[in-house]
Structure 1
Amino acid sequence: MSGRTRSEDDAVSEPRAPSIDPGQPGRSDPPTLELALVKYADRPDRCTIHPPDATGVERMSTWISVDRDLVVDAESMR
């Protein structure tokens, strides 16, 4: 017979909730973001969302841009 058998000494692994680093925002402490709007005459307006305190390279690597009509209020989606 091949495979592994289980003995009484084997620990049963219970599912664990992911740990949250105290320095990282959690569900009760959502991150603060800033939205910059760029309006265009010939195409959809664009929103760029980024952390307000980020500067330089950090700001350039922690942003996302989307068409304005795709942005909704987070509270309306809950």
Structure 2
Amino acid sequence: MSGRTRSADDSSSEPRTPSIDPGQPGRADPPTLELALVKYADRPDRCTVHPPDAAGVERMSTWISVDRSLVVDAASMR
């Protein structure tokens, strides 16, 4: 990891700039994700977000599910 770290008592006004590995996604190259929606009659609908090309164990370990009411369009948050 590169970059400068500071402790809480470091009075330097130099801002920290996070480094991004060239092979890792960053702001200019966000990861691609898919969303699967499951509708329920008696409880909140659920969305599961996962990488589109993951399969098997990788897919089972790289997903997250949330209530549909918590999902927003990323562009609306910028």
Match of 2:8 in 1: none
Match of 2:47 in 1: 47
- 1:50-69 mapped onto 2 (5 Å cutoff): 50-69=50-69
Listed as ranges, the gaps of 5+ residues in structure 1 are: 1-13
Distance 2:50 2:44 in 1: 19
- 1:1-78 mapped onto 2 (5 Å cutoff): 16-78=16-78
TM-score by length of 2: 0.77
Amino acid at match of 1:51: P
What's the CA shift string for 1:22-46, capped at 9, x where partnerless?
1110011111000000010100000
Deviation at 1:17, TM superposition (A): 2.2
Listed as ranges, the gaps of 5+ residues in structure 2 are: 1-13
Deviation at 1:15, TM superposition (A): 5.8
Name the SS for the 1:40 alignment partner: coil
Query: Percent identity of the aligned residues?
Result: 91
How many pairs were matched up? 65
TM-score by length of 1: 0.77
Match of 1:3 in 2: none
Question: Aligned-pair RMSD on alpha carbons?
Answer: 1.3
Larger Rg computed on CA atoms: 1
Name the SS for the 1:43 alignment partner: coil
